[in-house]
Amino acid sequence: MAGIRSPSGSRRWSAVVLCIVAGIAATGAKPPLRDAPVAWHEDDRRDIPAPKPRDLNRVHVTMDASFFRPLGRLFHPGRFVRRVGTIFGGDHVPPAANLNTLDEVPNSSWFTNRIGLFPTTPEEAARGPMTGPGPDRSGKWTVVGAKTEGVSPGFTIEDIKGDVYAIKFDPPGYLGTTTAAGVISGRILHTAGYNVPEDGIVTFRREQLVLGDDVEFTLPDGTERLMTRRDLDSILQQVEPLPDGTWRALASKWLDGVDMGPFDWKGRRKDDPNDQVRHENRRELRGLRMFAAWLCHFDTKQENTVDFYVEEDGRRFLRHYLLDFASTLGAGALGPFPTACWEYSWDFLVVFGRAMALGLYEDHWRRVERPPGLDEIGYFQGEIFHPMAFKPTEPNTAFANLTDRDGYWAAKIISAFSDEHLEAVVAEGRYRNPAAARWIVRALGERRDTLARYWFDRVAPLDFFTYEGGMLRFRDLGAERGIYPGSVPQYRVRVAATTPQRSRGTQSDWVTTTEPAVDLERAGGDQLGTHAPQDYPFLAAELQVSRGGRWSSSLTVYVARGSGRVVELER
């Protein structure tokens, strides 16, 4: 009968959906296992011709980021089918495309592994990207440019060494708020692995400044003329001085190379042959969502990124930077910002929901208060925080592609920051009130632990595997970093001999241990002896962890039986 679908038709449609899901899952099939060294460097620093500088139309970029791209994601058929596939344990997007076989991000022109993989001292974290103490104070600073637009004007200086710095001030009435935040967040992001400018706190007197020759000055009406000393004094009059009459500012050293404009969070730069991975599929850009949530870094628009054409070892290529971290830690260009990191600038769903609630529902951000008596602190605390509740000013395409594995990667790096690291970094913000520094350290630590626990609950935090003398050893990041205080972890493993195509032989029973180490040969038992190494050249060790409740999801470590090399890690 017309209009009524037969049971067989329903089954056919179910089969079609399952086939689509299976087909999408198959596209993520991994290549055969190889007994070879793990790749730790991405080949993206080859010599290239200079690309064309990229300019942005702010209106177009805002409309695209806030409306067209979110709608495109909502109605993308492949994304919809993958959403259905999450019922069967899949992800809403394909995995990140720039990973090595240990599920790590190799070093590249985008990211350099630091605290996440290597021991980093608090002193190194505090130094961050700095190659020197900042502008040379042994001579005058020559003003070579000025910024008059915006809430907080500033200017550009050149010191006697010829180094150029942008001088940025706090918003009026909020002395120390954004300059400290900019330095602290920049140091943290550099220690994590991102490329950032050299930002530091400076104080100076008016007599430190001299006006350069033929400095152009743009008036509020858009007309241009040469800058005068009176113009420089006018800029300083808009800035709150310190009690001793000096001015406090953030000095940001100009990057080496040629400015080629910002990068997009989506797609590739077509005039850069080294740019082979779509940006929304780069894990370091997806995972940046969690760093932004941790730091309440809400101003992640394209204008706060830049590609610089640099020369290194005789090769010229683009290096990709994050810029401007003053809009972090709960404050921005206008000062403390209560909705920072809770709502988009154009958040129609939230506005509609608020209207429909008729005042019966209180927004989370309304419960966040500035600490009393600490004028240097914005709306930033650790109690009311959920990493997935974070929203930047504009929706971000790369952030929207975050998967559980990407989130775990970020959480692993963030949890590597000890309280000592945070204390050393926050000291570089030079808060005038020591209580303000203690508040920020505590809030960062609480947010760190909340974020790590969220992701470690979803992806077992067993990592840094080594294999020697038959013993597979690993680290339990949840236990050693204090994310689960009071719990006593147990681990279980089962082992199978495996072909390069991951076809497993007879799998052993689970073996339980309380130590982060297991003898794979013993755990595998007689089953391993029935599978010749020439046919089954790898061991697959499947591991889980329990902290007194259920067992975690599994991860699998592959070891080459011949060389003893850990060749791959599947999460």
> Same domain for 361 and 380?
yes
What is the percent of the chain where pLDDT is above 70?
A: 93
Q: Give the pLDDT mean for 540-545.
A: 98
- What does the alpha-carbon distance between residue 453 and residue 501 come to, in Å, rounded to a whole number? 34
Chain centroid to CA 495: how far?
35
pLDDT at residue 494, as a whole number: 96
SS3 132: coil
Place 85 in a pLDDT band, splitting at 50, 70 and 90. Answer: low
What confidence tier does 367 reach under pLDDT thresholds 50, 70, 90?
confident
Sheet bearing 538-546, strands edge to edge: 511-513, 490-498, 538-546, 555-560, 566-570
| 380 and 504 within one domain | no
The C-alpha atoms of residue 523 and residue 507 are separated, in whole angstroms, by 10
Mean predicted lDDT score pLDDT of the chain: 90
Are 73 and 188 in a shared domain?
A: yes
- 289 lies in some domain: yes
Distance CA 520, CA 47 (A): 46
pLDDT(2) > 60: no
The answer on pLDDT for 1 being more than 50 is no
203: left (phi over 0), alpha (psi -120 to 50) or beta: beta
pLDDT score for 149:
60
Q: How far, in Å, CA of 207 to CA of 457, rounded?
A: 57
CA–CA gap between residue 51 and residue 308 (Å, rounded): 10
CA separation for the pair 366, 355 (Å, rounded) = 16
For residues 409 and 260, membership in a common domain is answered with: yes
Residue 50 lies in a domain: yes
Q: What are the helix (H) ranges across 64-142? A: 69-74, 77-85, 122-127
Task: Check residue 148 and give its pLDDT.
Answer: 65
Reported as a pLDDT band with limits 50, 70 and 90, residue 222 is confident
**Highest averaged pLDDT of the listed ranges 86-95, 337-346, 457-466:** 457-466
Pair 342, 357 in one domain: yes
Q: What number is the average pLDDT over the span 401-410?
A: 97
pLDDT at 22: 41
Residue 327 belongs to a domain: yes
Alpha-carbon distance of 522 to 524, in angstroms, equals 5
Picking from 116, 114, 90, 93, the residue whose alpha carbon sits closest to that of residue 103 is: 116
Average pLDDT over residues 57-82: 85
Q: Is residue 101 part of a domain?
A: yes
Task: Give pLDDT, residue 95.
Answer: 94
Confidence class for position 343, pLDDT limits 50, 70, 90: confident
- Rounded mean pLDDT, 316-343: 93
pLDDT of residue 156: 96
* pLDDT tens by residue, 253-306: 999 999 999 999 999 999 999 999 999 999 999 999 999 999 999 999 999 999
Task: Judge whether 22 lies within some domain.
Answer: no
pLDDT of the residue at 345: 83
Burial of 77 by CB count in 10 Å (0-12 exposed, 13-18 middle, 19+ buried)? exposed
Question: Quick check: is 282 in a domain?
Answer: yes
394: exposed, middle or buried (C-beta count within 10 Å: 0-12, 13-18, 19+)? buried
Which pLDDT score, from 0 to 100, does residue 3 have?
Answer: 38
* Confidence band for 151, pLDDT divided at 50, 70 and 90: low
Residue 504 located in a structural domain: yes
- pLDDT at 349 (0 to 100): 75
Which of 400, 432, 459 delimits the end of a domain? 459
Distance from CA of residue 294 to its chain's centroid?
A: 9
Please say whether the beta carbons of 518 and 470 come within 8 A: no
Q: What percent of the chain has pLDDT over 90?
A: 76
* 292 shares a domain with 312: yes
Overall average pLDDT of the 19-35 stretch: 62
pLDDT reading at 347 higher than 90: no
Listed residues 439, 459, 479: the one ending a domain: 459
Same domain, 199 and 316: yes
Residues 62 and 163 in one domain: yes
What's residue 94's pLDDT?
Answer: 92
Range with lowest mean pLDDT among 83-97, 383-397, 489-503 = 83-97
pLDDT at 26: 41
Which whole number is the average pLDDT over 225-233?
92
Within a domain: 3: no
CB 201 within 8 A of CB 183: yes
Q: What is the CATH number of the domain that holds 533?
A: 2.60.40
Q: Please indicate, yes or no, whether residues 130 and 198 belong to a single structural domain of this protein.
A: yes
- Domain count of the chain? 2
Mean pLDDT of 407-432: 98
CB atoms within 10 A of CB 74: 9
Model confidence at 27, pLDDT cuts 50, 70, 90, reads very low
Could you tell me the residue range of the domain that residue 484 belongs to?
462-570
**Which stretches within 193-282 are classed as H helix?**
229-237
- For the record, the structure tokens of 537 come out as 């050249």
Query: Residue 88: pLDDT above 70?
Result: no
Look at strands 490-498 and 538-546 and give their pairing: antiparallel
One domain for residues 392 and 492: no
pTM of the model: 0.91
Buried b (16+ CB within 10 A) or exposed e, 524-545: beebbeebeeeebbbbbbbbbb
Give yes or no: residues 117 and 195 share one domain: yes
What pairing do the DSSP bridges indicate for beta strands 538-546 and 517-519? unpaired
- State the DSSP H helix or E strand holding residue 569, giving kind and residue range, or none if neither: strand 566-570
Longest dimension (CA), the chain: 92
Q: What angle do CA 498, 502, 503 make, to 5 degrees?
A: 70
Q: What is the DSSP string of 220-270?
A: TTS-EEE--HHHHHHHHHTSPPPTTS-EEEEEEEPPSSEE--PPPSSS--T
Amino acid at 79: R
For the chain, give the number of residues.
571
Last residue of a domain, one of 459, 474, 503: 459
DSSP code per residue over 6-20: -HHHHHHHHHHHHHH
Residue 329 confidence (pLDDT): 97
382/386 Cα distance (integer angstroms): 9
Instruction: Indicate if the pLDDT at residue 563 is higher than 80.
Output: yes
Q: For 43-66, how does the pLDDT look when each residue is reduced to its tens digit (9 = 90+)?
A: 999 999 999 999 988 888 988 888
CA nearest neighbour of 418 among 115, 72, 85: 115
How far, in Å, CA of 350 to CA of 328, rounded? 22
- Amino acid making up residue 102: L
Query: Which two three-digit tokens encode residue 261?
Result: 């404009």
Residue with tokens 């490329």: 195
d(CA 42, CA 511): 38
DSSP state of 34: -
Judge if 379 and 432 occupy the same domain: yes
Rounded CA-CA distance 378/458 in Å is 31
